[in-house]
Amino acid sequence: MSPETHPNLVVFDHPLIQHKMAYLRDVSTSHRPFRALLYQIAGLMVFEVTRSFPTSVARVQTPLEVIDARRITAKITVVPVLRAGLCMAEGILEMMPEARVGHLGLSRDEQTLRPVVYLRKLPHDLNAGPVVLVDPMLATGGSAIQALTILKEAGATDLRMICLVAAPEGVQHLASAHPDVRIYSAALDRQLNERGFILPGLGDAGDRMYGTV
Ligand code: PRP
């Protein structure tokens, strides 16, 4: 499956992002630079992910005249999936410091590959603006589907997901379950292995990020 074959998927074919992804994938990159790279790549991706955010007109006095400028006035919510989404969320918040943060704790059962929810802490008015779900890995898609279902049940109506590495299986699975959600990924990888790991991938992002490999 190429990025062109799926209308809901945006893959970042940008030299700076691909350059940083090459270091991120490298098995010799330790947890400290790994976290920095996640943070930086997420910050770069924000530019495109926020393209559809609504703006409203605001009168602004420049030093020379008054103009109609545009501002994002809706309440933005960034929702990292723990643990792996945390560093990316920080990079996104660097660009959008006014955003609220919701947390979803999901862990993938390595036997069944099904997600288990262990934490859910969200703003009460998720429908007040765009919501960005953040998780570096889209493998089987089970975690993202569960997370998006929780966000919709909590009222979110304007959703998108940002990840670093997506597997074709996960993209298809997610697109069938939530066809309204656009997926932004730094890379579309080849496939999943029998344990549900993305190939070539970058290993377990949560473990590499926190040195728990
Ligand atoms: C990883 C990853 C996603 C999920 C992806 O989390 O960060 O949340 O697995 O897999 P899926 O698409 O097949 O559901 P993990 O369970 O390893 O938890 P962690 O972030 O705490 O390491």
Of the pLDDT bands very low, low, confident and very high (cuts 50, 70, 90), residue 6 is confident
| Domains within the chain, CATH numbers bracketed | 9-210 (3.40.50.2020)
Q: How far is the CA of 40 from the centre of ligand 1 (A)?
A: 20
Atom of ligand 1 nearest to the CA of 113: 13
* Per-residue pLDDT reduced to its tens digit, 105-115: 998 888 888 88
Q: Say whether pTM exceeds 0.85.
A: yes
CA neighbor of 79 nearest in space, from 169, 155, 166, 172: 155
Q: Whose CA is nearest to atom 21 of ligand 1?
A: 83
Whether 207 has a pLDDT exceeding 50, the answer reads yes
Taking CA atoms, 63 is separated from 57, 60, 67, 145, in Å, by: 19, 10, 11, 49
| pLDDT at residue 4, rounded to an integer | 62
Q: How far is the CA of 106 from the centre of ligand 1 (A)?
A: 7
Residue type, 172: Q
Q: How far is the CA of 61 from the centre of ligand 1 (A)?
A: 47
Residue type, 132: V
Atom of ligand 1 nearest to the CA of 136: 7
| pLDDT at residue 1, rounded to an integer | 47
